[in-house]
Chain A
Amino acid sequence: MSMGLALAILGAAIATCAGIGSAIGVGIAGEAADGVMAGGNTSFGSTLVLQALPGTQGIYGMVIAVMILTKVGVLGGSGFNLTLEQGVAFLVAGIPVGIVGILSAIAQGKVSATGIMLVSKGGSLGNAIIYAVMVETYAILAFIVSFLMYNGISVG
């Protein structure tokens, strides 16, 4: 296996790390959901939707990771002989979605948690979702940038 291929795999690993943020974010929101459910008079559905929101970053990360792994031939092949430069390029392509994913999912988890409080006090679910989704914008931007980088790297 070439050094380049190893670096590309490392890039996929970094992208997947967005899931760290999602796990923390979904966890924060879940704790808040447990808390308000204990008080009754909040619907399970509305808290579940808010809890699920910080989960998307992890999926964006996984998508970039699988796409990198496919393109370098680790998935569904035996791995191409990448040059060092190509490997570094794939590594860098994984960084935006990985790092922005971690931080934005945690921040989104906090907004979701307070959104759950808002809903439990009779606030509108729509408003709570919109506030939480404002944070996700930056994860989407990072996903786009990662994708454009990935798309620009030619292999073989």
Chain B
Amino acid sequence: MAIVKMKKLSVIGLQEEREAILRDLMSLGAVEISCANDKLQDEEWQQLVVRDGDEIRATEKDKELSRVQQAIGLINKYSEFKPSAFQVRRDIKEEEFDVLRSETDGYKAQTEEILELYEKLNHEQQLENAANSQIFALNPWINYELPLEEKTTDRLNIELGVFPPNTDVKALERELEEESYPCFLEEISKDKEQLYASFYYFKEDEDDVLDKLKKAGLSKPTFTDAPGTVTEVIERCKEDIEVHVAKKEQIIGQIAEKATYKEALENYHDILILDRDESQIRSNLVNTAKAFEFDGYVPAVAMPDVEKSLSEYFCSYEFSEPEEDDDVPTKLKLSKFLSPMEFIMKLYSLPNYREVDPTAIASIFYIIFFGIMFGDVGYGLMLIAGSLFAIKKFNIVEGAAGQLMKIIFYSGFSSIIWGFMFGSIFGDLIQVTGSTFFDKSIIIKPLWLDPGKEPMAFLAFSCGIGVVHLFIGMGIQAYQQIKQGKFLDACNDVFIWYAIVIGAIMWLFGGSVSPSLPVIGKWMVIVGLILAIILPIFIAKGAGKALGLWNIYSGLSGQLSDILSYSRLLGLGLASTSIAGVFNFLASMGGKTVVGVIMFIVIVLLGHLLNFAINALGAFVHSCRLQYVEFFGKFYEGEGREFNPFDRKTKYINII
């Protein structure tokens, strides 16, 4: 469990070999190429080199990439090959891939073919929508019998119009009559929002009549003009729609037939990603007229491989130890069992390159704490079943999601163990079922203790395990200080506090074990406190020499609050089992009747599901918190930058 040792790499090569070198490094995937900004700000460098880069090609490839993604999306949508929710990458041999890479023109044509079909599909869809809205707009006029194109006779104008729903057309007609503008108005239909009417009037009255009607709320109908009666137009639209739907289906069929392209398009997608990344990485290179240069980091173990591939070219390269102020990336070296725990470290911050990697210790305590807080056999089984289901069914193995699933699996395992310790299986579900429905009193004995019955013992245990956890954290701090040659600091910050805390525990609680313990404890505390005052005089400079008293105050309050913080193990442990118990109790209140059984099942299912969700989240978050705040607070710096090698970030294929 450690942080992988890194070497710094500088390479100078010839321009004509640049592409080949970069391609080799990419397939090796072991070099992180650093950004060239620092160099370009340095005056000496500035005189020699300019930034390399090919942003235009990178953007082009990006655009093409999004088109391919769209095409793949269309195939997935319309063909019968449904993709699984989580992709498993196909293996492809290096030589095969090189062949594929030379065939990109064909892929491009295939992409265009699919997107063209899609455009046609969209066009048909638009026409269908237009016909549909025409029908919708014409429906209120269905009782109007004249052809729509008939808008005038020799002397009359015939119009259709929409009025507010409460308009009285006859009254309107009379008003116009009185003003000597004869006009015939007829209501055709009416709904909640509008009244649909036809009207005709003498051509010479046009302005006055329309003026008057507009005041009454007249507006134009929303359909588009078409020849024929309303029923005829609607019929025609319906026929059109049938045609468009048929065409759409035909096009969808054509797209579905292109499912055979899918593999090719996925290859093309990944080729484009590689091309884009190759273009993008060039902004990290600097150029002279004939040569290029870049720096980077390589894990020490990968050095021979990198050396082997670089030695094939006419280039100069050098490996060196990273210097004090270099921004070295972090790569964690974890066993297979602990590798998912990287997730929890990343949630906080990766360790920086120069510190101790606490992942292993934090992981073990995380698993233990989760189990104590969740502590229930039934809930643990649910976690295990859920995580296995997700891993098998959706094939979540890679990436952060896969790591989280494995953490949930471990957490479930730990919950089961602690569930047996506390004698909790869905709270006291079995006992309650037995006593309510079968008149039997079942007793499940906890292997260790029942937190609800012996809370004080459990509180002592919680704080005790907390002290162990904290002491390990402080031990790491001491180790780092001693490594830097600050032995006195380690004494001041760590060892005297070991003495004070252990002494205080012996002083306060040791009496019941042996009468001499409190005496020893008392002296340990006194010696510790005296040292806490004296040591700063040797370590600190200036006013810091008098800091001893302050150190005692802050140290005592800090230690106390840190240790008591572990009482949350009791709190959440109690919460999960007692809430389960409360739901079981409420469920059993219906008694041994038919209604009682139904009520029992419903409340047990819902109650436990709620309790499971809330406490699983709570246990996860609070176990993390105990690592982040209490444990890491003792020694951890973090702020590590993740090692991000220049490699093939393919999505569909895995080149071997």
A144 touches B570 (CB 8 A): yes
A144 touches B571 (CB 8 A): yes
Chain A residues within an 8 Å CB radius of B437: none
A76 touches B625 (CB 8 A): no
> Which of A60, A75, A141 interacts with B585 by CB under 8 Å?
A75
> Which of A75, A126, A141, A151 interacts with B348 by CB under 8 Å?
A126
Q: Total interface residues on A, using CB and 8 Å? A: 28
The interface centre, meaning the residue of B459, B567, B575, B629 with most chain A CB atoms within 10 A of its CB, is: B575
A147 touches B582 (CB 8 A): no
Chain A residue with the shortest CB-CB distance to B577: A63
Chain B residues within an 8 Å CB radius of A55: 614
Beyond A70-B585, A129-B621, whether A63 also contacts B455 by CB under 8 A is: no
B578 touches A137 (CB 8 A): no
Asked if A153 is at the interface (CB within 8 A of a chain B CB), the reply is no
Beyond A129-B621, A147-B574, whether A56 also contacts B628 by CB under 8 A is: no
Encode contact with B along A123-148: 1 for CB under 8 Å, 0 otherwise.
Answer: 01011011001100100110110011
Chain B residues within an 8 Å CB radius of A130: 621, 624-625, 628-629
B571 touches A141 (CB 8 A): yes
Chain A residue with the shortest CB-CB distance to B570: A144
Chain A residues within an 8 Å CB radius of B248: none
Beyond A70-B585, A133-B625, whether A63 also contacts B567 by CB under 8 A is: no
Q: A147–B589 Cα gap in the complex (Å)?
A: 23
B347 touches A59 (CB 8 A): no
Within 8 A of A (CB), among B523-581: 564-565, 567-568, 570-572, 574-575, 578-579
Q: A148–B586 Cα gap in the complex (Å)?
A: 23
The interface centre, meaning the residue of A52, A133, A141 with most chain B CB atoms within 10 A of its CB, is: A133
A66 touches B585 (CB 8 A): yes
Chain A residues within an 8 Å CB radius of B622: 133
A66 touches B575 (CB 8 A): no
Asked if A49 is at the interface (CB within 8 A of a chain B CB), the reply is yes
Chain B residues within an 8 Å CB radius of A147: 455, 574, 578
B582 touches A67 (CB 8 A): yes
* Total residue contacts A-B, CB cutoff 8 A: 68
Chain A residue with the shortest CB-CB distance to B574: A147
Chain B residues within an 8 Å CB radius of A92: none
A63 touches B575 (CB 8 A): yes
| Nearest CB on A from B583, distance (A) | 9
Q: A134–B565 Cα gap in the complex (Å)?
A: 11
Chain A residues within an 8 Å CB radius of B348: 126
Chain A residues within an 8 Å CB radius of B625: 130, 133-134
B582 touches A76 (CB 8 A): no
Chain B residues within an 8 Å CB radius of A124: 347
Asked if B510 is at the interface (CB within 8 A of a chain A CB), the reply is no
Interface residues on B, range: 20 to 34
Asked if B301 is at the interface (CB within 8 A of a chain A CB), the reply is no
Chain A residues within an 8 Å CB radius of B617: 49, 52
| Nearest CB on B from A91, distance (A) | 20
Asked if A62 is at the interface (CB within 8 A of a chain B CB), the reply is yes
Chain A residue with the shortest CB-CB distance to B567: A144
Chain B residue with the shortest CB-CB distance to A124: B347
B578 touches A63 (CB 8 A): yes
Asked if B618 is at the interface (CB within 8 A of a chain A CB), the reply is yes
A140 touches B572 (CB 8 A): yes
| Nearest CB on A from B279, distance (A) | 26
Chain B residues within an 8 Å CB radius of A67: 578, 582
Within 8 A of B (CB), among A63-78: 63, 66-67, 70, 75-76
B614 touches A59 (CB 8 A): yes
The interface centre, meaning the residue of A55, A62, A144 with most chain B CB atoms within 10 A of its CB, is: A144
Q: A40–B565 Cα gap in the complex (Å)?
A: 38
Chain B residue with the shortest CB-CB distance to A144: B571
B614 touches A52 (CB 8 A): yes
Q: A130–B349 Cα gap in the complex (Å)?
A: 13
> Which of B347, B456, B568, B628 interacts with A140 by CB under 8 Å?
B568
Chain B residues within an 8 Å CB radius of A129: 621
B579 touches A63 (CB 8 A): yes
Q: A60–B568 Cα gap in the complex (Å)?
A: 13
Chain A residue with the shortest CB-CB distance to B628: A130
Chain A residues within an 8 Å CB radius of B567: 140-141, 144
Beyond A137-B565, A151-B455, whether A143 also contacts B575 by CB under 8 A is: yes
Q: A124–B343 Cα gap in the complex (Å)?
A: 13
| Nearest CB on B from A11, distance (A) | 16
Q: A140–B462 Cα gap in the complex (Å)?
A: 14
A56 touches B582 (CB 8 A): no
Chain B residues within an 8 Å CB radius of A134: 625, 629
Chain B residues within an 8 Å CB radius of A62: 582
Chain B residues within an 8 Å CB radius of A59: 575, 579, 614
| Nearest CB on A from B444, distance (A) | 19
Chain A residues within an 8 Å CB radius of B574: 143-144, 147
Chain A residue with the shortest CB-CB distance to B561: A137
Chain B residue with the shortest CB-CB distance to A65: B582
B571 touches A140 (CB 8 A): yes
Chain A residues within an 8 Å CB radius of B578: 63, 67, 147
Chain B residues within an 8 Å CB radius of A52: 614, 617
| Nearest CB on B from A104, distance (A) | 13
Q: A62–B607 Cα gap in the complex (Å)?
A: 13
| Nearest CB on A from B405, distance (A) | 15
Q: A130–B585 Cα gap in the complex (Å)?
A: 33
Chain B residue with the shortest CB-CB distance to A142: B571
Chain B residues within an 8 Å CB radius of A49: 617
Encode contact with B along A33-68: 1 for CB under 8 Å, 0 otherwise.
Answer: 000000000000000010010011001101100110
A63 touches B582 (CB 8 A): yes
Chain A residue with the shortest CB-CB distance to B611: A59
Chain A residues within an 8 Å CB radius of B614: 52, 55-56, 59
Q: A127–B347 Cα gap in the complex (Å)?
A: 7
Q: A67–B624 Cα gap in the complex (Å)?
A: 29
| Nearest CB on B from A57, distance (A) | 11
Chain A residues within an 8 Å CB radius of B459: 144
Chain B residues within an 8 Å CB radius of A144: 455, 459, 567, 570-571, 574
Chain A residues within an 8 Å CB radius of B571: 140-141, 143-144
Within 8 A of A (CB), among B230-288: none
The 6 closest A-B pairs by CB, nearest first: A126-B347, A140-B571, A66-B582, A144-B571, A133-B621, A140-B568
- Chain A residues within CB distance 8 Å of chain B: 49, 52, 55-56, 59-60, 62-63, 66-67, 70, 75-76, 124, 126-127, 129-130, 133-134, 137, 140-141, 143-144, 147-148, 151
Question: 17 more A-B contacts (CB under 8 A) besides A52-B614, A140-B572?
Answer: A49-B617, A56-B575, A59-B575, A60-B575, A63-B578, A63-B582, A75-B585, A75-B589, A76-B585, A126-B347, A126-B348, A130-B628, A133-B621, A137-B568, A141-B571, A144-B455, A144-B574
Can you pick out 14 interface pairs between chain A and chain B where the beta carbons lie within 8 Å of each other?
A52-B614, A59-B614, A63-B579, A66-B586, A133-B622, A134-B625, A140-B575, A141-B564, A141-B567, A143-B574, A144-B567, A147-B574, A147-B578, A151-B455
